[in-house]
Amino acid sequence: MQDVVEVLAAAGPHRGGSPNLALSVLLALLSACAFAVSTVVQHRAATVAGQDLPQGAVLRLVGKLVRNKAWIGGQAAALTGFCLHAAALKFGPVVVVQPLLSGGLVISLALGALVDRRHPERLLPEKGQWIAAGVVAVTLGLFVVSARPDHGGAFARPGPLLVCVGAAAAVMLLGALWALRPGAAHKALVLGLGAGFGFGITGLLLKDVVAHPPGELLTSWTTYLLLASGAASITFAQWAYQSGQLIECLPVMAILEPLVAVGLAAPVYGERLAPGVLATTGQVVGVLGLVAGVAVLARRTAARETTSVPLAVPAPAPAPPPA
């Protein structure tokens, strides 16, 4: 990932360069598409590869997947999505880029439906999922149009950023302590909260990292915080998936990631949304509709999954029927 960040840091505007909102929106949408392709391809590859394996044979499944061209292609799509996400943050504000990534849920739904139409044994999305996807698309567009944000600074303000990172670390620590308690209730939900906060902070850190010239990446403290935050967030997400049903943790993660980033963009980068009654109304309606749509879509999608692991993570095959 270090090489990827260096390439992105070398491209586009450097210190004091002019932001480009239209390009940022385009890159964010392309990033959402790439992540959606990655999710669908990896999930389908894992489903097929795990059909002839006994329950819990995760290591054997991983061994099959690393030799599966489709799954490898899904990983390449995920890397492409990360690069596009970083580039979008380099050219545009956090308050626009992070919510646009939520559109990946809608794109995943559509792509999954196209793929699954050729497999009669697979369930197609229900009407409620399509309605929620439409709500996400409409309210996301409303928010972006009404936001018209002040781009703020290219680099994060160290004090507020460290406070935000410390707060996220505290949330994750408390979540871990809760999950380690024997018999603790709602472990997946609590761990999902930690992962959602962590991913939101990771987006804030990524914007600062790609604003640095390549020669400063290894000496910038935000580079190492980004790596630590990303690793911790992924770990918490996997822990949440293994601790309970997907329906308990996926919605909260899908909602918190953009909300945390948007809510903290003002103190960290000085990004301000457009003032005025009409603009504010559009922003509030857009955010509320986006949160509701993402929550319903994620919850309905998770409820239709038969496993308790995420779409892009190898899933153990169901136990064979008794003889």
* Cα 52 from Cα 219, distance rounded (Å): 49
- Does 225 score more than 90 pLDDT? yes
* Cα 82 from Cα 6, distance rounded (Å): 13
Domain residue spans of the chain: 2-303
Q: What is the pLDDT of residue 256?
A: 84
- Does 230 score more than 60 pLDDT? yes
At 58-111, the pLDDT tens digits run 566 667 777 888 878 888 888 898 899 999 988 889 888 888 887 777 777 777
Beta pairing partners, 150 = 272
- Does 275 score more than 90 pLDDT? no
- Does 320 score more than 50 pLDDT? no
15-48 burial code (b ≥16 CB/10 A, e <16): eeeebbbeebbbbbbbbbbbbbbbbbbbbbbbbe
Between 188 and 318, the more confident residue is: 188
- Does 311 score more than 70 pLDDT? no
pTM of the prediction?
Answer: 0.73
212-245 burial code (b ≥16 CB/10 A, e <16): beeeebeebebbebbbebbebbebbbebbbebbe
Mean pLDDT of the chain: 78
Between 264 and 313, the more confident residue is: 264
* Cα 305 from Cα 300, distance rounded (Å): 9
Give me the percent of the chain exceeding a pLDDT of 70.
Answer: 76
In a 3-state reduction of DSSP, which class is residue 246? helix
**Which whole number is the average pLDDT over 199-217?**
90
Among 71, 122, 54, smallest CA distance to 314 is for: 71
* Cα 51 from Cα 63, distance rounded (Å): 14
- For residues 317 and 54, the answer to whether their CB atoms sit within 8 Å is yes
CA distances (Å), 95 to each of 21, 140, 169, 271, 275, in order?
Answer: 11, 12, 22, 7, 14
Lowest mean pLDDT among 20-29, 73-82, 307-316: 307-316
